[in-house]
Structure 1
Amino acid sequence: MKKQSILTLAGFLLASSIFAQSWTPLFDGKTLNGWKRLAGTAEYTVEDGAIVGTNVPNSGNTFLVTEKEYGDFILEMDVKIMDTTSNSGVQMRSHYDAAGHQGKGLVYGCQFEIDPSSRRWSGGIYDEGRRDWLYPGSLNPTAQDAFKVAEYNHIRIECIGHDMKTWINGRAIAYLVDTVDHLGFIGLQVHAVRDAGLAGRKVYFKNIRIQTTGLQSKPFPPGIYVVDNIPNHLTTYEKNSGWKLLFDGKKADQWVGAYKDKFPDTGWIVDNGMISVHEKAGKEGGTGGDIVTKAVYKAFDLSFDFLLTPGANSGVKYFVRLAPEEKTTGSAIGLEYQILDDTLHPDAKLGRNGDRTLASLYDLITANKQKRFIHPMGQWNTGRIIVYPNNHVEHYLNGVKVLEYERGSQAFRDLVAISKYKIWKSFGEAPEGHLLLQDHGNDVSFRSIKIRVLQ
């Protein structure tokens, strides 16, 4: 073998060896050296090469956290939880407020969720002690069976720059883009128990190791929804998956007024990364009127952020035909994702069984939503509408599915027959249509409007 080839091979082997050795253990398998307990009084012990957390009565969430803080890293470990009544998690880039939680101490920051309940949100990302759910497991439903109860599961967490990605047993789960934390500790959670009869439940962690240099992100399979908290931004991954921005935060060149050939001169404004409609005494049609996409869509995944002012009303409509026979003095006709302040606006009490409330299919199907997943007035909420090629439709609010239906089914037609839409033939069944942002005469803003065409 030539000397140059030998040197090249030696260099390759050395580089491979260095890369292979770049993992650093965070747990020596015998002691809790390098870790400290915070917030609660749950017990952490070492048994058979694993850290064992045991919950206790009358304690809040308890965390065993690293004494060292980490910025960019790849973290892997094996986790076991014994039954579906338990809950746990792994903190990432997290922090501690000794005065928080009424002086009991508060750990806060992003958490890899370990959730063996029937909800099955393991691998989702929760903001412990701060913003609540950032990436519910329901955003990746095909991976909700990845976590196995009563056996060790291999988890992987990547925190590189603004990107957080998670895996369970080799399956990609969550992809979050977030700018809030850049550095913090890693922690293992023992969740509080409300029922004293559930005390003594255990969670096991072993083979905990970390990389902090030479980080190589593991490829994510295409098509997984990304929660991107950078306004009007698409990741390279999203672009490669077919996502496109319908509003880039600077110009509204993909929108025109309904039944018009240009964007309204009044009523709507693009400013500060938002596209906003102005107050006009709550009058439907407002000053500028509705705006619609220039393009039409058949099957799609649409995501959008919206900001309501107190008492405001608006909507996002889809399959809007703009047909002459459907023209009205008010808003253009189409299926509507309702946007509403349910507390202050009277429309919330109209219709049937709440089918005019936030995230509902307006006047047809009520959104089944929990209060904790509704962000208050003055904060951004994220809506999502998925129309599959087979005409199955889903509405989401802040990552949680709130309704689903089959467009054109007999059940759908029966609902239309008892709604305000019964006067329009084949309402909601057009093969394609525009998307619409409604001017209902209230101050409402939108941003991060993105779409992926589904085939």
Structure 2
Amino acid sequence: MKKNVVLTLLLFCAASLSAQNWEPLFNGKNLKGWKKLNGKAEYKIVDDAIVGVSKMGTPNTFLATTKNYGDFILEFDFKIDDGLNSGVQIRSESKKEYNKGRVHGYQFEIDPSKRAWSGGIYDEARRNWIYSLNWNPSARTAFKNNAWNKARIEAIGNSIRTWINGVPCANIWDDMTPVGFIALQVHAIGNAADEGKTVSWKNIRICTADVERYQTPESQAAPERNLIPNTLSPREKKDGWALLWDGKTNEGWRGAKLSTFPAKGWKMEDGILKVMKSGGAESANGGDIVTTRTYKDFILTVDFKITEGANSGIKYFVNPEMNKGAGSAIGCEFQILDDDKHPDAKLGVKGNRQLGSLYDLIPAPKNKPFHKKEFNTATVIVKGNHVEHWLNGEKLIEYDRNNAMWNALVAYSKYKNWPNFGNIIEGNILLQDHGDEVWFKNVKIKELK
């Protein structure tokens, strides 16, 4: 009996202490402590909730706190009508010198569409999507349409994590904006039938004291995305990731047909590794570069950005000794290509030379999450003979090698005359010089045991 009494007292004290660290951001009566920015949509109070009303002919409208917040845990309930899009800004800003006061910064997404990316993180008026739910598809079922949903956001140091109805959604590591306001968004609409629809928030509260004490323990449920270029987050280090490129030097790399790094054709500046434009020929300028060591089972991630009409690739299972003549070193290739402008996209079989494909062997889907003017994340996963290509968190293709089907596939490709193509146990990793300017960063690898 005494143990039960003590336990009850401890739980009561813990609950009281926790309650003392929360403060309401909305008093349920008026909009004291908030101000409207950018647009002309209406915000009103109905039944202890802030209700945003969509309006034609106005840009995105934000109701922002007059106070800025750095490290915090934010909770709120929200509900939205179908047909709208909305969000909640955190660590956001509105400055005259930035796009005439345009609100910008991290946004907790509210998305009732079939895409179902609620709980993802959008970088409003800045980098666009930085954590769509392509990165965590299991979270797409967390949001409930036409009902109240409970959101939780933990912004502590460089870590920003989100939950909906207790389900982990997004998880980023970033240092772009450490402090800013919180804002409720009524998104602009382009369809008159959506005018007058609403998005509502209530029970908005924030914890800013002893936040590390109340933060949710780490888990693997929502994969982390590290947005700080060419660095490893504490979680990445703990999970065994390593940088293949340090963001500054050519350490760990050499020319595929050289003992040193190429003297021309590649440039390193502002944390970006660039293969320079030289007429579009394959490995005819600086030439391909490869890692100085080989890899067997691994997860490889590379952020890349193409220029118009560009062609390049990320190769693995490369044997630099296999081709000492003209052209690129031989290996399995994650194709990088401007499918709209480069003629190679129309060659091969059924699109197997298009972006994300296993070049000249297995085509990637035509509809893929590629952002032409932004950095994209290519991922290659190798576990024994099983290989997968991913793009921006979405699986494109998977295949198995070292079997009769694989060998038959190779026999009908441009690699048919290269002995044992794709079947070696381990090989170098390669970034391709195809004579077009392509940018790389965040080249990372996790070796699997």
* Global fold match (TM > 0.5): yes
Counterpart of 1:393 in structure 2 is: 388
In the alignment, structure 1 segments of 5+ residues that lack a partner are 1-9
Question: In 1, are the aligned partners of 2:72 and 2:206 still within 8 Å (CA)?
Answer: yes
The equivalent of 1:43 in structure 2 is 42
Match of 1:452 in 2: 446
Contact 1:389 1:454 in 2 (8 A): no
> Partners in 1 of 2:14 and 2:31 — Cα distance?
32
**Is residue 336 of structure 1 aligned with residue 333 of structure 2?**
yes
2:133 aligns with 137
Structure-1 residue corresponding to 2:150: 154
The more displaced of 172-181 and 227-236 is 172-181
C-alpha distance in structure 1 between counterparts of 2:325 and 2:116, whole Å: 45
1:303 counterpart letter in structure 2: T
- Taking structure 1 as the reference length, the TM-score comes to 0.81
Change (3 A) 1:115 1:305: same
Which is worse superposed, 70-79 or 326-335? 326-335
Secondary structure in structure 2 of the residue aligned to 1:440: coil
1:407–1:429 Cα contact (<8 Å) kept: no
User: Are residues 274 and 61 of structure 1, via their aligned partners in 2, closer, same or farther at CA, if it must alter by over 3 Å?
Assistant: closer
1:54 CA displacement: 3.0
- Name the residue aligned to 2:4: none
Query: Is 1:119 aligned with 2:119?
Result: no
Q: Provide the C-alpha distance between the structure 1 equivalents of 2:32 and 2:370, rounded to a whole number of angstroms.
A: 38
Cross-structure match for 1:383: 378
1:170 aligned partner, one-letter code: G
Residue aligning to 2:288 = 290
Q: Quick one: structure 1 residues 307 and 41, their matched pair in 2 at CA, closer, same or farther if it must change by over 3 Å? A: closer
Q: Which residue of 1 aligns with 2:6?
A: none
Q: Contact 2:254–2:262 at 8 Å: present in 1 too? A: no
- Tell me, yes or no, if the aligned pair for 1:359 and 1:402 is still in contact at 8 Å: no
Q: Residue 51 of structure 2 aligns to which amino acid in structure 1?
A: V
Cα distance in 1 for residues equivalent to 2:132 and 2:86: 15
Q: Which residue does the alignment assign to 2:5?
A: none
Deviation at 1:113? 0.7
- 1:363 and 2:360 equivalent? yes
Structure 2 regions of 5+ residues with no counterpart?
A: 1-8
User: How many Å apart are 1:259 and its aligned residue?
Assistant: 6.2
Structure-2 residue corresponding to 1:61: 60
| Matches of 1:386 and 1:372, distance apart in 2 | 19
Do the aligned partners of 1:44 and 1:52 also contact (CA within 8 Å) in 2? yes
> What displacement does 1:186 show?
0.8
Q: Deviations over 1:46-93 (max 9, x none)?
A: 23332222323444332222122222222111222354x332211112
Cα offset, 1:331, TM superposition = 1.3
Q: Aligned partners of 1:303 and 1:452: how far apart in 2?
A: 9
What is the rounded CA distance, in whole Å, between the counterparts of 2:111 and 2:447 in structure 1? Answer: 32
**Cα separation, 2, equivalents of 1:401 and 1:39:** 34
Q: Distance in 1 between matches of 2:149 and 2:78?
A: 5
Alpha carbon RMSD of aligned pairs, Å?
3.7
Q: 1:185 to 1:428 in 2, by over 3 A?
A: same
> Which residue, 153, 159, 165 being the options, matches 1:169?
165
Provide the residue aligned with 1:438 in structure 2. Answer: 432
Residues 440 and 223 from structure 1, CA distance in 2 versus in 1: closer, same or farther, beyond 3 angstroms? farther
Aligned in 2, Cα 1:259/1:68: closer, same or farther, shift over 3 Å? Answer: same
Whether 1:313 aligns to 2:311 is yes
Greater displacement, 127-136 / 349-358: 349-358
CA distance in 1, matches of 2:138, 2:121: 16
Q: Is the Cα contact below 8 Å between 1:52 and 1:205 reproduced in 2?
A: yes
Moved more, 174-183 or 249-258: 249-258
Determine the C-alpha separation between the residues in 2 that align with 1:388 and 1:189. 44
> Is the alpha carbon distance of 1:92 and 1:372 closer, same or farther for their aligned partners in structure 2, counting shifts above 3 Å?
farther
Sequence identity percentage: 48
Q: Given residue 21 of structure 2, which amino acid in structure 1 is its aligned partner?
A: S
Instruction: Letter of the 1:96 partner, please give it.
Output: S
Distance 1:118 1:287, change over 3 A: same
